[in-house]
Amino acid sequence: MDVGSVLSILITSLMAMVPIVLTSVGAAWSERAGVVSIGYEGVLLMSAFFGAIFAELASNAVVGLVGGIFVGVLLGMLHGVLTVYLKGDHVIPGIGINLLAMGVVPFGILAYWGTAGQHQLPHDAQMWHWKTPYGELSPMVLVTILIALVTWWVLFKTPLGLRVRSVGENPEAADALGINVEKYRFWSTVYGHALAGLGGAFMSVDWLGLVHKTMSGGRGFIALANMVFSGWNPLVSLIGGWLFGFFDALAAWLAPKHIIPGQFILMLPYIMTLIIVAGIIGKARPPKWDGRPYKRE
């Protein structure tokens, strides 16, 4: 393998890192506050689709990214109302959001653009990239690293972060101290889904420049695995996210070489996720009240 290939894999891995890290960081924040969601797969898919529509309407990729955040916020509010205020199960609404996305996106692509399964975005709706001899790099890579840093800092170094973590670790004590447990949990859920929404829109208007009905490709779940791997720490999830991005990029680089059947290469990121998660669990401990509804006595 020559230097050029290595650099090209590294650049692709930075792009592939973005949706996974954004989702992991958001999910870590939300779970630190005690709300579990497995609906990020659907959030990524739906925000990729609606983000693309927003970007095309405005002929501007940034509008598309903001649109993705907006979709994330709406879905986060839905999940927050069901889990935080109505005290429902945390897993089932996520399953519902994932199933909904599997319907909305293929239906939407067909109904809105009139093509089945896939739509290519026009050039003016796509994000501007730095061009290097080994591939294109999006400014969103830097934004993602910055979001991970800031989220980590707020979560662990500020009073706001302390309150968020307290409602996930010990809501009774937090409640006794006058912290509005439901408010913190609700907005943490919204923040988590908003970041996933940004990650989804990144895939369509920035990284790939297209919408495909299965484009999320398990990344919502890989992000959850990465969140566990990183011990619910946004900063560490940068490392894990890059690692998964690397296997994604490696698979994309290996696929056209026909060394072994392509299907086996495409399995790579999923196999690595499984191995890493299997190796790491046991040490990792979720926040104590993660996924448990808190009802005031």
Partner 1 sequence: MKKSGSESLKSINLRPFVESLIAILVGFVIGAIVLLAFGYNPWSAYYWLFQGALGSTYGIASTLKYATPIMLTALTFAIGTRTGIFNIGAESSFYFGAIAAVIFTNIWDNMWFGLAMGMLLGALWALPAAVLKVYRGVHEVISTIMLNWIGWFFVLWLIVGPYANPNDPNKTIRIPVDARLPIIGYGLSIAIVIAVIAAVLTYFLLWHTTMGFGMRASGINQKAARYAGMNPKMAVMWSFLIGGLLSGLGGAMKIMGEGPGYAISQGGANIYGFGFDGIGVALVGRNHPLGIILAAIFFGMLRAGTALMQAQAHVPLEIIKVIQGIIVITVAIPSLYDLVKKAIHRGAA
Q: Which is nearer to partner 1, 166 or 230 (CB)?
A: 230
End-to-end Cα distance, the chain:
63
Long-range own/partner contacts, residues 133-140 (CB < 8 A, 24 or more apart): 133/4, 134/4, 134/7, 134/8, 134/10, 134/11, 135/7, 135/8, 135/11, 135/12, 136/11, 136/15, 137/11, 137/14, 137/15, 138/15, 138/18, 138/202, 138/206, 138/207, 140/18, 140/65, 140/202, 140/206
Q: Minimum Å distance from CB 98 to partner 1?
A: 8
Counting Cβ atoms within 10 Å, is residue 158 exposed (0-12), middle (13-18) or buried (19+)?
exposed
Sequence letter at residue 148: A
Q: Minimum Å distance from CB 213 to partner 1?
A: 9
Q: Minimum Å distance from CB 220 to partner 1?
A: 9
Q: Minimum Å distance from CB 269 to partner 1?
A: 8
Q: Which is nearer to partner 1, 22 or 82 (CB)?
A: 82
Q: Which is nearer to partner 1, 75 or 141 (CB)?
A: 75
Q: Which is nearer to partner 1, 116 or 160 (CB)?
A: 116
Q: Minimum Å distance from CB 108 to partner 1?
A: 8
Helix (H) / strand (E) element for 108: namely: helix 92-108
Task: List residues near partner 1 by CB under 8 A.
Answer: 38, 41, 78, 82, 86-89, 91-93, 95-104, 106-107, 110-112, 217-218, 221-222, 224-225, 228, 261, 263-264, 266-267, 270-271, 273-274, 277-278, 281-282
Distance CA(265)–CA(77), nearest Å, equals: 38
Q: Which is nearer to partner 1, 139 or 279 (CB)?
A: 279
Buried-exposed string 27-43: b where 16+ CB fall within 10 A, e elsewhere: bbbbbbbbbbbbbbbbb
> Which residue shows structure tokens 């650049």?
11
Task: List Cα–Cα distances, 82 to 77, 191, 284, 285, in angstroms.
Answer: 9, 16, 27, 25
Q: Which is nearer to partner 1, 89 or 172 (CB)?
A: 89
Q: Minimum Å distance from CB 178 to partner 1?
A: 27
Q: Left (φ > 0), alpha (ψ -120 to 50) or beta: where does 112 sit? A: alpha
Tokens read off for 162: 């302390």
Q: Minimum Å distance from CB 265 to partner 1?
A: 9
Q: Which is nearer to partner 1, 7 or 277 (CB)?
A: 277
Q: Which is nearer to partner 1, 167 or 224 (CB)?
A: 224
Q: Minimum Å distance from CB 172 to partner 1?
A: 21
